[in-house]
Amino acid sequence: MSSAPRIKACIFDMDGLLLDTETIYSQVTNKILEPYNKTFPMETKLKMMGRDVRTATDILLADLELPLSFEEYDSQATELKKIYFRMALMMPGAERLLRHLTAHSVPIALATSSSKQMFRIKTEIHDTVFELFGDHITCGDDPDVKHAKPAPDIFLTAMQRLDSSLQPSDCLVFEDAVNGVEAANNASMNSIWVHDMRFSQDDAPPTEHTATERITSLLDFDPAKYGLSPYTEGL
């Protein structure tokens, strides 16, 4: 990237970016797969990441040729998620960045494919952090989000609710999934791909990607690079 854009607002994905839920998704999936003597392959997980529940589940059922309907699988998964997601931890650097942006009056919004119910469960023990978003939280089951990622709907909806004067080029989207980066591109927004190397089929960094910038942790994000207030020493 030759010249970084100057950013007026930031929009965040949640799963795998702010919360370490991807390991829990794998745990839940493997638990359901046990009776069928199957395990959750990374190739399938990568195809599912960042997608809505229906699409992700359909990918899983097809790839692993499971004798389950969507409804049967989703019923089992939902009950397990209600237990395990309450234990989800914040990802490194997430709280620091959100508090920094809020302290410097940078508008922030959350745009998650999770349903409102699952959002509440996942964030239950982190309510003081997610309160920083105020009312600017858009979930995957929001009636204004007609199409799931990689469609741009959820990011455009989040932007419009944040500030109607914002343009897509004013926004910086933070995503951990390639599917989410594609959604940001489709919204004509800038994006930071936070590439968690735990969920990669190759130890080497990709030679090509479509994000504005690729980093491997939110700890590596430099706000000043995008015209935002820099971190002060010690933060």
pLDDT tens digit sequence for 15-30: 999 999 989 999 999 9
DSSP conformation class of 207? S
Residue position matching structure tokens 């960094």: 205
Mean pLDDT of the chain: 93
More confident residue, 154 or 4: 154
Residue position matching structure tokens 């791909």: 193
pLDDT of residue 208: 74
- pTM as predicted: 0.89
Alpha-carbon distance 225 to 203, whole Å? 27
Q: What is the mean pLDDT of residues 29-43?
A: 95
pLDDT of residue 234: 55
Q: In degrees rounded to 5, what are phi and psi of residue 231?
A: -65, 140
pLDDT of residue 202: 67
Q: Which two tokens stand for residue 72?
A: 């049967």
Q: How confident is the model at residue 232 (pLDDT cuts 50, 70, 90)?
A: confident
Q: Which two tokens stand for residue 121?
A: 């469960």
Q: Which two tokens stand for residue 222?
A: 């430099």
Would you say residue 53 has pLDDT above 60?
yes
More confident residue, 235 or 203: 203
Q: Which two tokens stand for residue 229?
A: 């207030």
Cis link prior to 205 (omega < 30° from 0)?
A: no
Alpha-carbon distance 15 to 86, whole Å? 13
pLDDT of residue 1: 43
- Which residue in 211, 181, 175 sits closest to 14, CA to CA? 175
Alpha-carbon distance 212 to 190, whole Å? 6
Q: Are 28 and 85 in contact (CB under 8 A)?
A: no
pLDDT of residue 116: 96
More confident residue, 157 or 207: 157
141 noted as active-site residue:
no
13 noted as active-site residue:
yes
- CA distances for 56 relative to 2, 70, 89, 179, 215, angstroms: 35, 10, 22, 11, 25
Catalytic residue among 13, 52, 142, 170: 13
Q: Are 134 and 152 in contact (CB under 8 A)?
A: no
Alpha-carbon distance 155 to 111, whole Å? 6
Burial 118-137 (b: 16+ CB within 10 A, else e): bbebbbeebeebbeebeebb
Would you say residue 141 has pLDDT above 60?
yes
pLDDT tens digits, 212-226: 999 999 999 999 999
